[in-house]
Amino acid sequence: SDPDLVARAEAAKAALGERLFVLGHHYQRDEVIQFADVTGDSFKLAREAAARPAAEFIVFCGVHFMAESADILTNDSQKVVLPDLGAGCSMADMARLGQVEDAWDALAEAGVIDQVVPITYMNSSADIKAFCGRNGGAVCTSSNAEVALEWAFAQKDDAKIFFFPDQHLGRNTAVLELGFSLDDCVVWNPHRPNGGLTVEQIRAARMILWQGHCSVHGRFSADVVDELRVAHPGITVMVHPECTHEVVTRADLVGSTEFIIKTIEAAEPGTSWAIGTELNLVKRLADAHPDKNIVFLDRNVCYCSTMNRIDLPHLVWALENLVAGNVVNQITVDVETEKWAKVALQRMLDLPG
Ligand code: 13P
Ligand code: SF4
């Protein structure tokens, strides 16, 4: 990266000292991640944000829903900054509060609402998290989806989980971790009346999955898994649970970004790995572990374009403004939304394990 920008980022960080804490998600570019005080998956970063009450500024190198969650979990005097406001998440955008409220009304009409526990993936807007908090539900991330679903099923008799926005994480967790069948899961299409389901389908379902997905992880295909196994006999295939069920069932290991990193760190030299998650992370792992053979599980380039919007020029711009006393790109959540979103986030943080 540009040596001038590197020096400027270092100088701004030094000038802000303890007043600043920089969080970096594992999908961030190398040029940005080098300035993170802590790196992590979305669960670890939420916990880290909550654990830094002394930092006046939290600069979040990640995407919008993560910065919102950090704002919810920090105290009122702390300011959370997202270096580029264009860093959203297409999956989070697939579930809007109005759509979720309409779906909730339809579930009430189907006569099942007393059984339904809403669980939202971290990758959702703060108002969706607040909806879950208000309605007895919780947030989960890819590293605690199994315990979150177990918790949810224990909340009500004959419980059904309404899971959004990622149908794949919901299905993969319910089927592969909790032992449900694919027939126990139905998909709610927010663009069709009654989600495109009959009342009988809704009543029979245990998991009602919002029709959302990650466009990055959706690109990994089962065919490539098969091809790689032929090309590299003995290779271990490890994927993120946002991949399709077809891909995840063909993989050897499935887990969050933090799990993927820890697994590679613990792997024996000389072992071969195919990894199905965002490319910045896979490249960084391959560079950091030249003694292991690490390949990417896709024929094409596969960055998360919104994660990539946080680049060094944006980070330097945000930091230098903070040094000058201007808080740019502050992410704030309104008081009422924050109150209920915090309830849902806290239920997640209180989960065992
Ligand atoms: P984790 O960091 O929880 O593994 O999630 C991946 C992701 O897609 C974040 O947007
Ligand atoms: Fe959203 Fe997918 Fe990018 Fe994660 S990788 S921020 S889920 S689009």
Domain-ending residue, one of 171, 197, 214: 214
Angle at 198 between CA 193 and CA 204, to 5 degrees: 135
Contact 40, 23 (CB under 8 A): yes
| 310 CB within 6 A, ligand 2 | no
Average pLDDT on 86-113 reads 98
86: confidence class by pLDDT, cuts 50, 70, 90: very high
Given a cut of 90, whether residue 1 has pLDDT beyond it is: no
Domain count for the chain, please give it. Answer: 3
**Is 121 known to sit in a ligand binding site?**
yes
306-334 residue pLDDT tens: 999 999 999 999 999 999 999 999 999 99
What is residue 176's predicted lDDT score, i.e. its pLDDT? 96
Instruction: Please give, one letter per residue, the 3-state secondary structure of 90-119.
Output: CCHHHCCHHHHHHHHHHHHHCCCHHHEEEE
What is residue 298's predicted lDDT score, i.e. its pLDDT? 87
For residue 342, tell me if it sits in a domain: no
Is 107 in the same domain as 199?
yes
Given a cut of 90, whether residue 216 has pLDDT beyond it is: yes
Please name the residue that has the structure tokens 């663009």. 191
| 67 CB within 6 A, ligand 2 | no
336: confidence class by pLDDT, cuts 50, 70, 90: very high
Interface predicted TM-score of the whole assembly (ipTM), two decimals: 0.97
Is 39 in the same domain as 129?
no
21: confidence class by pLDDT, cuts 50, 70, 90: very high
Average pLDDT on 294-314 reads 91
What is the number of other CB atoms lying within 10 angstroms of the CB of residue 332? 14
Atom of ligand 1 nearest to the CA of 122: 3
What is residue 280's predicted lDDT score, i.e. its pLDDT? 93
Average pLDDT on 142-158 reads 96
For residue 350, tell me if it sits in a domain: no
Is 121 in the same domain as 205?
yes
What does the mean pLDDT of the chain come to?
96
Domain-ending residue, one of 214, 232, 263: 214
For residue 353, tell me if it sits in a domain: no
Of residues 159 and 301, the one with the higher pLDDT is 159
Average pLDDT on 3-32 reads 97
The count of C-alpha atoms lying within 13 angstroms of the C-alpha of 133, restricted to the half-sphere facing its C-beta, is 21
Of all residues in the chain, what percent carry a pLDDT higher than 90?
96
| 257 CB within 6 A, ligand 1 | yes
| 50 CB within 6 A, ligand 2 | no
**Is 25 known to sit in a ligand binding site?**
yes
Domain-ending residue, one of 245, 274, 296: 296
For residue 77, tell me if it sits in a domain: yes
Identify the helix (H) or strand (E) that includes residue 148. Answer: helix 145-153
Q: Establish whether the linkage from the previous residue to 352 is cis, with ω within 30° of 0.
A: no
**What's the first-to-final CA gap in the chain, in angstroms?**
39
| 91 CB within 6 A, ligand 2 | yes
For residue 319, tell me if it sits in a domain: yes
Given a cut of 80, whether residue 159 has pLDDT beyond it is: yes
Is 113 in the same domain as 189?
yes
Is 70 in the same domain as 147?
no
Which of 69, 167, 216, 278 best tests ligand 2's pocket when mutated (most atoms within 8 Å of CB)?
216
What is residue 353's predicted lDDT score, i.e. its pLDDT? 76
Average pLDDT on 146-162 reads 97
User: What pTM value is reported for the model?
Assistant: 0.95
For residue 203, tell me if it sits in a domain: yes
Is 17 in the same domain as 62?
yes
For residue 171, tell me if it sits in a domain: yes
Average pLDDT on 204-208 reads 98
What is residue 43's predicted lDDT score, i.e. its pLDDT? 87
> Quick one: how far is CA 188 from the chain centroid?
20
Which of 45, 93, 120, 142 best tests ligand 1's pocket when mutated (most atoms within 8 Å of CB)?
142
What is the number of other CB atoms lying within 10 angstroms of the CB of residue 266? 7
Which of 122, 216, 284 best tests ligand 1's pocket when mutated (most atoms within 8 Å of CB)?
122
| 172 CB within 6 A, ligand 1 | no
CATH code at 252? 3.40.50.10800
Given a cut of 90, whether residue 183 has pLDDT beyond it is: yes
217-261 residue pLDDT tens: 999 999 999 999 999 999 999 999 999 999 999 999 999 999 999
Is 204 in the same domain as 125?
yes
Is 55 in the same domain as 23?
yes
Q: How far is the CA of 150 from the centre of ligand 2 (A)?
A: 25
Is 113 in the same domain as 145?
yes
Atom of ligand 2 nearest to the CA of 88: 6
Is 251 in the same domain as 291?
yes
For residue 352, tell me if it sits in a domain: no
Is 246 in the same domain as 199?
no
What is residue 18's predicted lDDT score, i.e. its pLDDT? 96
Name which residue sits closest to atom 6 of ligand 2, judged by CA: 89
What is residue 226's predicted lDDT score, i.e. its pLDDT? 94
CATH code at 200? 3.40.50
Instruction: Give the domain extent around 47.
Output: 3-88+307-333
Is 171 in the same domain as 238?
no
